[in-house]
Amino acid sequence: MSFSRRDFLKASAAGIVIGAFPGLAFASSELIKKKGQRVVVVGGGFGGATAAKYIRKWSNNKIEVVLIERNPMFISCPMSNTVLGGGRTIDDLTMSYDELKKKYGIKLVKGEVTAIDPEKQTVMLADGHLKYDRLIVSPGVDFMYDKVEGLNESVANTSITHAWKAGAQTVLLRKQLEAMPDGGVFAISIPKGPYRCPPGPYERACQVAHYFKANKPKSKVLILDANPDIVSKKGLFMAAWNELYPGMVEYRPNALVSKVDVASKTAKTEFDDVKADVLNVLPPMKAGAVADMAGLANVDGRWCGVDFLTYESKVHKGIHVIGDAVSAALPKSGHMATSQAKVCAAAVIELMQDKQPDQNPTIANTCYSMVSGNEAVHVANVYRFNAEKQAMISAEGGGVSAKRSELEGAFAGYWLKNILNDVLL
């Protein structure tokens, strides 16, 4: 940058646009002095926390890892629909980051990234900056509220929730269901794919129906799906709706909600207006805002293109992107985020020693959905790197459950326990 500090001071004295320098790179202090090789990880969800842990573990603690996370606690999105069904509380899904600090020596910085400078290899936060050798961005998703007229973050936090990041909105949605009179309508709107957790909305319909069946049997679950058909585990979800909740769940395909009226809890589709007692709208999604700070969302302006051997961004060298934010033919699931994180962690360690990363990454995904209080269904797949296509391609043999079962319901619970341990302990 040819603009000197003196020029900057002159410019600001003259009242010229200070906003052009996000993060106040000149004035800010280095939060943790960089000594040896360092990886900074932005975002402590399934992807980011796993990447942080495995870089420490697999580098024998030789590489310093700083993990930036804005939330004080980790809350699992997987299985959070069971909070709506009543099987779990949000506390059951909440874990501390302490073991990542104590056991692995990860330096945790609580805060929000305000800017990324790929040239200077610096991440800016409100109260200072951090330097890195390599940056891993695991920003999850953000919501495109502007695609649904009448919807915004404040409405989502107080009235028409998405509850698509587990936390306060999940608890609010549960309270709304509890307050709803018997005979009421719960409507969920699903955006066009790709979105986080493809089977999640259908699982949510099951969990709400499960709660209604026991507590408000005259009530109805209405699914407004912008997609032409059920996106995931179709036969299994339809069987659950027909057999477990007959007459309660109604599915409408090609029902894109473009507008909501907050006061009357009405969702407008191309065909009609749907009034609900509890309205739950998942807005279209894109890579989390941090991706935009370094211009990483190069696919449709929404998702981040990466090299699947390293998860290095197609836009900037030295910056890696993992998890739901990645543009790939991989499901946006918690297990996928951890698997991508490990491929990325292994590659980053090799790259920092000027060695070649693993040329044949092969990863698995197992995703459970709870269709009642104790029964689950799954989808499982192995994905391998295809050098010709430069893509992760589904291997032979993947598929879904033969039928829903209590056995799989039990496995779903153990899946949660084991994956949370793998990410955080």
Partner 1 sequence: MIMSRTLLVVFGMLFCTAAQAEVDKHARNLAASCSACHGTDGNSEGGMPVLAALDKVLFVNQMKDFKSGARPATVMHQHAKGYTDEEYELLADFFAAQKRH
Binding site for partner 1 (CB under 8 A): 54, 58, 334-335, 338-339, 342-343, 346, 358, 360-364, 366, 378, 380-382, 384, 395-399, 401, 405, 407-408, 410-411, 413-415, 417-419, 421-422, 425
Least Cβ distance, residue 10 to partner 1 (angstroms): 53
Which sign does the torsion angle of CA 388, 394, 395, 396 carry? Answer: negative
User: Distance (Å, rounded) from C-alpha 178 to C-alpha 85?
Assistant: 10
E strand intervals along 290-394: 306-307, 312-313, 319-321, 362-370, 376-386, 391-394
Nearer to partner 1 among residue 220 and residue 378 (C-beta): 378
Task: Tell me how crowded residue 96 is: count the other CB atoms within 10 A of its CB.
Answer: 12
CA torsion 399-402-404-409 (nearest 10°) is -60
Cis bond leading into 194, ω under 30°?
yes
Least Cβ distance, residue 58 to partner 1 (angstroms): 8
Least Cβ distance, residue 372 to partner 1 (angstroms): 16
Least Cβ distance, residue 168 to partner 1 (angstroms): 26
Long-range Cβ contact pairs of 314-319 (< 8 A, separation 24 or more): 316/118, 317/118, 318/118, 318/121, 318/132, 318/133, 318/134, 318/135, 319/116, 319/118, 319/134, 319/135, 319/136, 319/137, 319/294
Least Cβ distance, residue 101 to partner 1 (angstroms): 17
What is the radius of gyration, based on Cα positions, of the chain? Answer: 22
Nearer to partner 1 among residue 288 and residue 413 (C-beta): 413
Nearer to partner 1 among residue 179 and residue 425 (C-beta): 425
Nearer to partner 1 among residue 219 and residue 372 (C-beta): 372
Question: N- to C-terminal Cα distance for the chain?
Answer: 43
Least Cβ distance, residue 80 to partner 1 (angstroms): 17
Q: Are 202 and 235 in contact (CB under 8 A)?
A: no
Least Cβ distance, residue 51 to partner 1 (angstroms): 12
Nearer to partner 1 among residue 143 and residue 383 (C-beta): 383
Nearer to partner 1 among residue 225 and residue 408 (C-beta): 408
Nearer to partner 1 among residue 210 and residue 404 (C-beta): 404
